[in-house]
Structure 1
Amino acid sequence: MAILEVDSITNSFGSVTAVDDVSLSVEAGELFCLLGPSGCGKSTTLRTIAGFEQPDSGQIRIDGTDVTPTEPNRRDCSMVFQDWALFPNKTVRENVAFGLRMNDVATAQRRQRVDETLSLVEMTDHAEKPPAALSGGQKQRVALARSLAFEPEILLLDEPLSNLDRKLREAMQLEIKSIQRETGMTMVYVTHDQDEAFTLADRIGIINEGHIAQQGPPATVYTDPTNQFVESFLGTTNFITCEVTATTAVEPATPEATDGGTAEIELTTPFGEPLSVPAVDRLSPGDTVTASIRPERVSVVTASSEPPASWLFTATGTVEQRLHRGSRIRYELAVGETTLVTERRIDERLGVDIGDSVAVGCQPEAITYFDAAGRRIR
């Protein structure tokens, strides 16, 4: 059941449209991430859900009720901000209790709720300390506890970990995921960090220039992108500019087949080996097609080895760079008129040196194609 429904909201600030016809739904108990580059509209979308911004058009429903005109304090949601916004002159306990006290929650109930949430975020031992005595991670835990204390229907989080160093940020990601699973709370989480989104999210909504480019489980949006922006934004990839040369007929797989075969479009590539894609009406000879191969899907064997027959193409390359990046090694390969990048774990590193000749290819399913407008070719 969808507990949050955002229906075609648009937000403009002067001549700038920050959010453009965004629609999404979030199921009860789900952690939904809004992911995108800086300035794409993800925080404005979250603030509109919270009620801090009013949409020019569209509707927001929480648990089936239209809350579009409702004030933020009357919506059954709470928000964790990028900056912790803790009262410096109040203790941890007083900070967490503040909102409950302002809502006239009875003293005994308030004390119990504060104790429960401090225990949940493992801050009980710091309850009487001022914020100045806490680390960044501890301050974020207090801000999280303050929002959880309300027991909101939906918890909204706006890049809450961006002020933390990498190691602490990764630890807090796991902590938030653990709390979400333990409480079953519905969360909408904004981030520009794709690793963070993939760690946390049950589903991801990728935003670009105010639009939702794609929604789905993390594995789906990574392996099955709908357009070139999604492919380029998630991780790294090798984009290869190709040109449409001709359309060829492909015979049926068996003599008994009655479909008459299919048609494919041949592509010229900068590494000298042709590729082919299913024929679509919008492609003609001379058009540009972009092929994408993720680094982990580029296959490489040394020049002395025989490339597998299952490869879609086989090209000759030269190792230009070999860069150690923690637990992985990045290889840059000069292949024809382009450069392909591949990565291997340390224990799977290639037995090659800079200047060595290699054979490069990939399996047919490893390549994703996009037309000149960035639309996926299927």
Structure 2
Amino acid sequence: MTLLELDGITVQYGSLTAVDDLSLSVERGELLCLLGPSGCGKSTTLRTIAGFERPDAGRVRLAEGGAPTDVTGTAPNDRDTAMVFQDWALFPNKTVRENVAFGLKMAGVADADRQARAEEMLSLVEMTDHAGADPTQLSGGQKQRVALARSLAVDPTLLLLDEPLSNLDRRLREDMQLELNAIHDRLETTMVYVTHDQDEAFTLADRIAVVNDGSVEQVGPPASVYTDPETLFVESFLGTTNLVDCTVRRAQTPAEPADAQVADGGRVALETPLGEPLFAPATETAVSEDDHVTASLRPEQLSVETVDTTGTETGDASEGDGLATTGTVDSRLHRGSQVRYEITVGEETLVTHRRIAERLGVGEGERVAVACSASAISFFDAGGRRLR
């Protein structure tokens, strides 16, 4: 059941358009991450949901009982939402317990009831032992737990979180992600979570909305957004990839000569700087001679094998039907549990990585066979749309 609807939201600051005709829905009980680079409009979108920003166009609808109703003009304190901020925003002159109970006090909840609710939330975030402490005595992780407990105490229909873990160190941030996941699973509170951290989004989200220049590029479960990107921005923003500039030279079917014309059911031949062509599948998107196309090869999809002294591949790397060539190892860099390799192929440098236990037995300057199956290569037109 849909709990939140954003319909054509536009937010402008003078000549700057921060959010541009953004439409999105959030289902009841899900955790949706707004993921994108700094300045893309994701925090402005969150503030618009909360009521801190009034959109210049579009409507915000929130289901606070039945079907979603228009709350575009409703004040923040009259919306059934709560927000967790990046800087925690705890009252330094109140105890931890008083901070957690503050929203309930403002709502007129009886003292005994709000104290019981505060204790319940402190227990949930494992902060009961610090109930009487001053917030200035807490660590960053403890402050974040208190801020989360305070927001959950009012039992909001929708919980909004604006990069709440970004001020924590890496290990504590990862621990808090797991704790937040467990809390979400237990309470089934609907959450919209803003982050620029891809790992964080993939850890937390039921669905991800990738935001770019004020608009949503793609929405879906994390795995499907990563493996089946709709745009070049999504492909390049999520994880690491090798982007190769290509030029359309012709389209052909396997049985036709090299100078065959574009044909339904054929494949599009692309000139590349890799020293050999790539072949994109036939697509509904019209492509013509000399059109620009970008090929994306994920590092984990590259097969790399050693080449013996006679120049023969010692593995099966050349069996890939998309790319099958040789290259030279430029660099080998150990990065914790992985080894990163940079390999020159033709005029291009491709990056791949292996786990320490699976690292290649090659050094800088050595020749290797490089392959990538056609099904693992994504192609995008000059406008950044996926060729399908």
TM range (shorter): over 0.9
Shift in alpha-carbon separation, 1:261–1:289, aligned structure 2, 3 A:
closer
In the superposition, the TM-score normalised over structure 1's length comes to: 0.96
| 8 Å contact from structure 2 (residues 84, 162) kept in 1 | yes
Counterparts of 1:272-291 in structure 2 under 5 Å?
272-280=275-283, 282-291=286-295
Counterpart for residue 113 of structure 2: 109
Distance 2:7 2:292 in 1: 36
Counterpart for residue 47 of structure 1: 47
Which runs of structure 1 show a deviation greater than 4 angstroms over 4 or more consecutive aligned residues?
A: none
SS in structure 2 of the partner of residue 44 of structure 1: helix
Shift in alpha-carbon separation, 1:287–1:93, aligned structure 2, 3 A:
same
State whether structure 2 residue 181 is matched by structure 1 residue 159.
Answer: no
Give 5+ residue unaligned stretches, structure 2. 257-262, 309-313
Amino acid at match of 2:133: K
SS in structure 2 of the partner of residue 358 of structure 1: strand
Shift in alpha-carbon separation, 1:105–1:284, aligned structure 2, 3 A:
same
Indicate which of 132, 135, 152 corresponds to 1:131.
135
Query: How far did residue 306 of structure 1 move?
Result: 4.3
Q: CA RMSD in A?
A: 1.4
Counterpart for residue 374 of structure 1: 384
SS in structure 2 of the partner of residue 78 of structure 1: strand
In the superposition, the TM-score normalised over structure 2's length comes to: 0.93
Counterpart for residue 273 of structure 2: 270
CA-to-partner distance for each residue in 1:117-139, whole Å, 9 max, x for gaps? 00000000000000111000000
Give 5+ residue unaligned stretches, structure 1. 253-259
Distance 1:151 1:330 in 2: 46
Counterpart for residue 358 of structure 1: 368
Distance 1:312 1:203 in 2: 31
Counterpart for residue 96 of structure 2: 92
Query: How far did residue 162 of structure 1 move?
Result: 0.7
Counterparts of 1:165-244 in structure 2 under 5 Å?
165-244=169-248
**How many residues get paired?**
371
Indicate which of 339, 353, 357 corresponds to 1:343.
353
SS in structure 2 of the partner of residue 376 of structure 1: coil
Distance 1:376 1:251 in 2: 26
Amino acid at match of 1:360: V
Distance 2:248 2:321 in 1: 21
CA-to-partner distance for each residue in 1:125-182, whole Å, 9 max, x for gaps? 0000001110000000000000000000110000000111111111111111110000
Counterpart for residue 11 of structure 2: 11
Distance 1:127 1:251 in 2: 76
Distance 1:310 1:89 in 2: 65
Counterparts of 1:324-335 in structure 2 under 5 Å?
324-335=334-345
CA-to-partner distance for each residue in 1:318-345, whole Å, 9 max, x for gaps? 1111111111110000111010000111
| 8 Å contact from structure 2 (residues 264, 282) kept in 1 | no
Amino acid at match of 1:54: R
Counterpart for residue 256 of structure 1: none
Counterpart for residue 314 of structure 1: 324
SS in structure 1 of the partner of residue 11 of structure 2: strand
SS in structure 2 of the partner of residue 377 of structure 1: coil
Counterpart for residue 257 of structure 1: none
SS in structure 1 of the partner of residue 319 of structure 2: coil
| 8 Å contact from structure 2 (residues 83, 159) kept in 1 | yes
Indicate which of 77, 80, 85 corresponds to 1:81.
85
Query: How far did residue 248 of structure 1 move?
Result: 1.3
SS in structure 2 of the partner of residue 262 of structure 1: coil
